[in-house]
Structure 1
Amino acid sequence: MTYSMISHLTCPKCKETYSSDSIQQLCACGSPLLVEYQLDEVRKSLTKEALIGRPSSLWRYHELLPVKKEGNVISFEEGMTPLSKLPVLGKQMGISNLYIKDEGMVPTGSFKARGASVGISKAKELGVKHLAMPTNGNAGAAWSLYAAKAKIEAYIVMPEDAPEITRKEVSISGANLFLVNGLISDAGKIVADLVKEQGFYDASTLKEPYRIEGKKTMGYEIAEQLNWELPDVILYPTGGGVGLIGIYKAFLELKELGWIDGQKFPRLVAVQSEGCAPIVKAYQEGKTESEFWKNSETHAFGINVPKAIGDFLVLDAIYQTGGCAVAVSEDEIRESQGEVAREEGQFICPEGAATFAAARRLRETNWINENDQVVCLNTGLGIKYPDAFDVEAPLLQPYDRLSFSEKR
């Protein structure tokens, strides 16, 4: 059986096509490239039922992933993360079917492991020896660790105020770590120079076509975990927006395969911080591309992206599904992070908390209805952001005693 049924790469803007058997970065027109598959052949050889019993990792969908030879797969069994109902928080919000897709459960502690697994695997297959990428933290951590397993040398540039844990993950992996006094956009300029001058493989967001293929498996999993019945709304914390683009791509592929016939796609919601909301501004103005967001700042570090190269793809997914884009405040993000922990016992990352803040706001305006099935994407572990909140506790001496009044 053929491991992958990849066909070619195509440009969503100018429709130019490229081979997937050689290294490709952006299209000649400057657009990201997307992977196309032989879906007619997939339909003949793969059924939903055939997935039953396959390993619980994203590679269960290998026919719809770009790696041709199984021996090139670099994996830590990432994927098939929990999709759990949150009854207490849902009741508080007035959303009777509120779910969390918890990506903090994957290796490296964030959803970036999906893109790293597929991206690094394809890079290995293409013979890549050196790669470079800018990152806000989690992507660099994931790609560094997967690159270590693949024996690919990685050069990672991140803002100096990126979460310390992610910096340590990059460092311990043996990757070459550089910190920049600036934003991810500044790191991107440094990487671009390195790529141009030394010919490194550019693993920047959407400057290689395969990261999105790992991220799209979140869409496959949501559909499969809900017995191939799509939810009404999916909220996604949006920086580069690769996951949202990927989820939409997954649903388009599932529709063409005939696996979700007659179903309306979920309304996709791009969630950003008020301190960095270029997609939200573009959506509110009805535009198809965003403008660079000056002086961006948010403690939800993963969504601090002033200008996404794939912004037109994010906005198209929103428009095509009847979705929207919402910006929430820093206080709302912190409050939601605490609510999810107190009410449901889950310590989620600030970016994930932003989606719950947005869900609450959209329910209050009746954009989300009480009986809608709503999925919030939590993209990482809260423990990866130790400085995102303060801890207050009394200091005891060894001889101190505590007494509590019990209510009976």
Structure 2
Amino acid sequence: MNVTHLYCSSCNKSYAPRRLYNLCVCGKPLFVAYDLNRAAASLTRAALATRPATLWRYAEVLPVDHPANRVSLGEGMTPLLNAERLGQELGLNHLYIKDESQNPTASFKARGMTTAVSMAKELGVKKLAVPSAGNAAGALAAYAARAGLEAFIFMPQDTPQANLIECQQNGAHVTLVNGLITDCGRIVAEQKTAAGWFDVSTLKEPYRVEGKKTMGYELAEQLGWELPDLILYPTGGGTGLIGMWKAFDEMEQMGWIGRHRPRMVSVQAAGCAPIVQAFEAGLPAGATIANPHTIASGLRVPQAIGDFMILHILRQSGGTAVAVTDAALLTGVKRLGSTEGIFAAPETGACVAALQQLIDQGKVDRDERIVLFNTGSGLKYLEAFSRV
């Protein structure tokens, strides 16, 4: 629709639109560029009031040309909940929960897969493959089934049962791997050419991040076009954080918001904290974790391909990176549930624990507007809670 080209997030090399790509020739992720002046002619803040409550309300800044190719299950426009009781307990006056568990497939991964699968359909792809710690696999299985495409999924053997069953019931081809998500990714990379798969791994194709960025658009819309002061986001691959930052830049270019940006906080598990280690060491890219361990499967990513972007965003925003123990993140889940009635994923519990750390360190003002992302439902992680 308004796509002008694709460009490398690192070397800035330009690519023609409407073709299949994975990474840039330099090995870094590709992003989609838009004619934002043209987009802004019809995509106005006033126009949004009449549009359906899905992420496709922002169609002018999404990559799909033809509406018939949108593969949708009604994703997006998740509620932004005023967490008054948890806020009172923490001594905060303006705490909000962006509840991504209310997406189809019960996690924020639905956002990325709706755009990735829609573009795959539009560009003639028949077979999709992904390595996943769980929720991305479930989302791909659902959206591929909706589109009539084949999904080939590689997950670690200890992936939560809910994710495995979800994929199987949605007709995906599932392979369990004795290893980590990085081992699953290696298998996809080695076999995709011979098998005829298109790889939709995190940030290894240009379109998942486009769906994830709509969290930034929604956040601005729901807060009356003023961004919050602080955003806490659980970080494995980091696509959501990167996508929101892209959305903020696009909105500024369209004249919707000013230059103010939230302080972005990347939250990880103590047993797998490559971004935290790199941030604290002043490194430009993430560390590699040799033996990652955490019950929060979405955080068990020993090295993220977009680590250099995540670190840049944290520093540019004046934010930080925080690691919490598994015990602390489980306490965070219960704390959120008992105060707000939200049964959240362990990754979200990590954000609750991280927020407490920041408060204890005097890094948060009680009158700041703070948004904590619940990236998925706790129902996907019952084994993690049964071990307690």
Local SS of the residue matching 1:48? coil
Q: Which runs of 4+ in 1 moved over 6 A?
A: none
Structure 2 equivalent of residue 110 of structure 1: 107
Contact 2:279 2:321 in 1 (8 A): yes
The alpha carbon displacement at 1:41 in A equals 1.2
Structure 2 equivalent of residue 171 of structure 1: 168
Structure 1 equivalent of residue 30 of structure 2: 33
The alpha carbon displacement at 1:391 in A equals 8.6
**CA–CA distance in 2 between the matches of 1:196 and 1:238?**
30
Bigger Cα displacement from structure 2, 66-75 vs 9-18: 9-18
| One of 67, 78, 82 as aligned partner of 2:75 | 78
| One of 241, 244, 254 as aligned partner of 2:241 | 244
Tell me the alpha carbon deviations over residues 231-259 of structure 1, each in whole angstroms, 9 at most, x when there is no partner. 00000000000000001111011111110
The alpha carbon displacement at 1:198 in A equals 2.9
Local SS of the residue matching 2:11? coil
Contact 2:268 2:322 in 1 (8 A): yes
Tell me the alpha carbon deviations over residues 122-164 of structure 1, each in whole angstroms, 9 at most, x when there is no partner. 1100100111110000001101110011111111000010010
Tell me the alpha carbon deviations over residues 27-70 of structure 1, each in whole angstroms, 9 at most, x when there is no partner. 00101000110012122332111111100000000000000000
Structure 2 equivalent of residue 351 of structure 1: 347
**CA–CA distance in 1 between the matches of 2:43 and 2:141?**
33
| One of 310, 315, 326 as aligned partner of 1:314 | 310
Local SS of the residue matching 2:129? strand
**CA–CA distance in 2 between the matches of 1:279 and 1:269?**
11
Bigger Cα displacement from structure 2, 351-360 vs 42-51: 42-51
For 1:106, the aligned partner's letter is N
The number of residues matched between the two structures is 388
| One of 330, 334, 337 as aligned partner of 1:334 | 330
For 1:166, the aligned partner's letter is N
Local SS of the residue matching 1:385? helix
Structure 2 equivalent of residue 366 of structure 1: 362
Structure 1 equivalent of residue 261 of structure 2: 265
Contact 2:43 2:58 in 1 (8 A): no
Q: What is the percentage of aligned positions where both structures have the same residue?
A: 49
Contact 1:162 1:301 in 2 (8 A): yes
Q: TM-score, normalised by structure 1?
A: 0.93
Q: TM-score, normalised by structure 2?
A: 0.98
Contact 2:276 2:322 in 1 (8 A): yes
| One of 91, 94, 112 as aligned partner of 2:91 | 94
Unpaired runs of 5+ in structure 1? 393-408
**CA–CA distance in 2 between the matches of 1:153 and 1:343?**
42
The alpha carbon displacement at 1:291 in A equals 2.0
Bigger Cα displacement from structure 2, 272-281 vs 168-177: 168-177
For 1:97, the aligned partner's letter is H
For 2:283, the aligned partner's letter is K
Note if 1:388 corresponds to 2:387. Answer: no
For 1:140, the aligned partner's letter is A
Bigger Cα displacement from structure 2, 113-122 vs 37-46: 37-46
